[in-house]
Amino acid sequence: MSKVLTEQQIKDAAVEIEVPYAALKAVIEVEARSSGFFSTGEPAILFERHKFWEQLGDIHWFTMRLKIMAKHPRICNKFAGGYGRYSEQHDKLRIAASYNRDIALQSASWGIGQVMGYHWEALGYPSLQSFINDMYHSEARQLEAMIRYIKVNNLVDELQRGDWAGFARGYNGKGYAKNNYDEKLRQAYNKYA
Contact partners, residue 156, CB within 8 Å, separation at least 6: 17, 18, 19, 150
DSSP 43: B
Rounded mean pLDDT of 158-175? 96
Identify whether 116 is part of a domain: no
Distance CA 143, CA 35 (A): 11
Identify whether 77 is part of a domain: yes
pLDDT recorded at residue 34: 63
How many domains would you assign to the chain?
2
Domain region containing 87:
45-110
Given a contact cutoff of 8 angstroms between Cβ atoms, the answer to whether 103 and 96 are in contact is yes
Identify whether 1 is part of a domain: no
Q: Could you read off the pLDDT of 80-137 as tens digits, one per residue?
A: 999 999 999 999 999 999 999 999 999 999 999 999 999 999 999 999 999 999 999 9
Tell me: do 105 and 126 sit in the same domain.
no
Q: CA 93 from chain center: how many Å?
A: 14
Distance CA 21, CA 139 (A): 17
Cβ count near 157 (within 10 Å): 13
Identify whether 32 is part of a domain: yes
pLDDT recorded at residue 147: 98
Tell me: do 83 and 54 sit in the same domain.
yes
Distance CA 51, CA 43 (A): 19
Tell me: do 135 and 182 sit in the same domain.
yes
Query: Which of 83, 110, 137 represents a domain boundary (last residue)?
Result: 110
Contact partners, residue 123, CB within 8 Å, separation at least 6: 115, 131, 145, 148, 149, 152
Report in angstroms the alpha-carbon separations of 29 from 94, 95, 120, 151, 189. 27, 29, 22, 19, 9
Tell me: do 87 and 140 sit in the same domain.
no
Rounded mean pLDDT of 142-171? 98
Tell me: do 145 and 172 sit in the same domain.
yes
Identify whether 11 is part of a domain: yes
- Check: pTM over 0.85? Answer yes or no: yes
Tell me: do 87 and 60 sit in the same domain.
yes
Tell me: do 152 and 101 sit in the same domain.
no
Tell me: do 141 and 169 sit in the same domain.
yes
pLDDT recorded at residue 33: 74
Tell me: do 188 and 152 sit in the same domain.
yes
Tell me: do 184 and 126 sit in the same domain.
yes
Distance CA 122, CA 120 (A): 6
Query: Which of 82, 110, 138 represents a domain boundary (last residue)?
Result: 110
